[in-house]
Amino acid sequence: MPFHFFTSFARLPLVFRVLIISVSLIFAFGSIVHLLEPEQFTTVFEGVWWAVVTAATVGYGDFAPKTVLGRLSGIALIMVGAGFLASYFVTLATIAVTKQNDFLEGRI
Amino acid sequence: MPFHFFTSFARLPLVFRVLIISVSLIFAFGSIVHLLEPEQFTTVFEGVWWAVVTAATVGYGDFAPKTVLGRLSGIALIMVGAGFLASYFVTLATIAVTKQNDFLEGRI
Amino acid sequence: MPFHFFTSFARLPLVFRVLIISVSLIFAFGSIVHLLEPEQFTTVFEGVWWAVVTAATVGYGDFAPKTVLGRLSGIALIMVGAGFLASYFVTLATIAVTKQNDFLEGRI
Amino acid sequence: MPFHFFTSFARLPLVFRVLIISVSLIFAFGSIVHLLEPEQFTTVFEGVWWAVVTAATVGYGDFAPKTVLGRLSGIALIMVGAGFLASYFVTLATIAVTKQNDFLEGRI
Ligand SMILES: [K+]
Ligand SMILES: [K+]
């Protein structure tokens, strides 16, 4: 069953796989930081907002972890999540450009 | 008519297509955030400034949406706009380097 | 004379050309913002610090233009400078990796 | 002895080499900024947190050097570290995607 799940996952187009992994990381780290620093991240949505802003390397600074554990999970999110979001950005833009060219050359 | 418009658009050089899409997204999201949080984004220009700073992943934090709807549109801008701006950056730099090489090798 | 200057420039290795353009943009925009908002950017060095932090898309937010003209020059720096710095980052890392491989395979 | 060390290092997979260089830069600059501005960066961990946030171009702005020497080392970290972290992000994501494809095609 988990094997079938993974095989189905791996057969999805690249952009969906990268997006699913990115969204999962965002929700996981958004929940973790809400548990670790509940005074600052009062809701899971505030944690998710911080995780999106961090993994996309925007980093407004309206939310930033202040405890050692919170900062260690922030470092983990940066080291794992930023790569997936960067891949997602590049894949999405490549698809948009390729589809336009396919259309122009009569393939769609 | 829209069909001709799209065909003309798709025939433009890559850097212009990516730039046109980026600029459109910037103005669209700059206007949306001005409507959603008018107390913070008092003019459309402040919304546009926030959208450029966000989509380029600079993220000064001088402006950042505070409502759930504002943050959801911020997430949408990041997920769609950041990829286009990253593509624009890469395309622009590639052109600058290629033009110099073309000049050197006597092609322009 | 300017022609010879450009030819010499174009013959430099890619990483130096990208670095020279990036450094020139940083100093140009650092000076411009110092002239446009002298109350905030009290020295040219503060302008240069802001321009590096902006073009590298770090964006601490310790300095951010507040006038329309200052923000327009910020947008110009982002649209032109961020591409060059991104190219510089990629070129530098590629060289570091390639040199190590060259060394391993006995070429240096 | 240093020669053997370098040869062993250069034989490691690309992602480990880039990660080792990135982590070394993070600790080096985290310690430097702690020494240069001890009032703001009261512990080495705060320096390391700032260095990760800077080299990944997140830039929350909760920590930012305020002295000329501190800012010069910040510029050095950006010019050297951001390239390595960007390479690490790209390499990591490429590996994740390739491994999934290898698995699907029966190679692992
Ligand atoms: K940033
Ligand atoms: K930032």
Which CATH number applies to C13-104: 1.10.287.70, 3.40.50.300, 3.60.9.10, 3.30.70.890?
1.10.287.70
- Residues in chain B with CB shorter than 8 Å from the CB of A96 are 21, 83-84
Compute, in angstroms, the gap from residue B54 CA to the centroid of ligand 2: 9
Predicted local confidence at residue D108, as pLDDT: 61
Predicted local confidence at residue D100, as pLDDT: 67
Compute, in angstroms, the gap from residue D52 CA to the centroid of ligand 2: 13
Q: Is the pLDDT of residue C16 over 90?
A: no
Predicted local confidence at residue B84, as pLDDT: 79
SS3 D3: helix
Predicted local confidence at residue D85, as pLDDT: 82
- Residues in chain D with CB shorter than 8 Å from the CB of B61 are 60-61
D12-104 CATH: 1.10.287.70
Query: What's the pLDDT tens digit per position in B27-38?
Result: 999 999 999 999
Identity of residue A76: A
Query: What's the pLDDT tens digit per position in D95-108?
Result: 766 766 676 666 66
Return d(Cα A34, Cα A27) in angstroms, integer: 10
Domain boundaries of chain C, sorted by first residue:
13-104
What band does D17 get if pLDDT is binned at 50, 70 and 90? Answer: confident
B107 vs D87: which has the higher pLDDT: D87
* B22-104 maps to CATH 3.30.420.40: no
User: Any idea what DSSP says for residue A40?
Assistant: T
SS3 D56: coil
Structure token digits, residue A57: 């390397």
Q: Is the pLDDT of residue B108 over 70?
A: no
Average pLDDT, chain D: 86
Which CATH number applies to A14-104: 1.10.357.10, 3.40.50.300, 2.40.30.10, 1.10.287.70?
1.10.287.70
Cβ contact (<8 Å) for B87 and A90?
yes
Question: B93 at the C interface (CB within 8 A)?
Answer: yes
C84 vs D35: which has the higher pLDDT: D35
B69 vs B9: which has the higher pLDDT: B69
Give the relative orientation of helices D2-11 and C68-104 as an angle to the nearest 10 degrees: 110
Comparing alpha-carbon positions, the chain A residue that sits nearest to B53 is A58
Predicted local confidence at residue A18, as pLDDT: 82
Q: Is the pLDDT of residue A1 over 60?
A: no
Question: C61 at the B interface (CB within 8 A)?
Answer: yes
Residue C83's CB is within 10 A of a number of other CB atoms, namely: 25
Cβ contact (<8 Å) for D60 and A58?
no
Compute, in angstroms, the gap from residue A63 CA to the centroid of ligand 2: 11
Contacts (Cβ under 8 Å, ≥6 apart) of D101: A10
Residues lining ion ligand 1 (Cβ < 5 A) are A 59; B 59; C 59; D 59
Query: What's the pLDDT tens digit per position in D75-90?
Result: 999 988 887 787 787 7
SS3 D12: coil
Return d(Cα B82, Cα A19) in angstroms, integer: 14
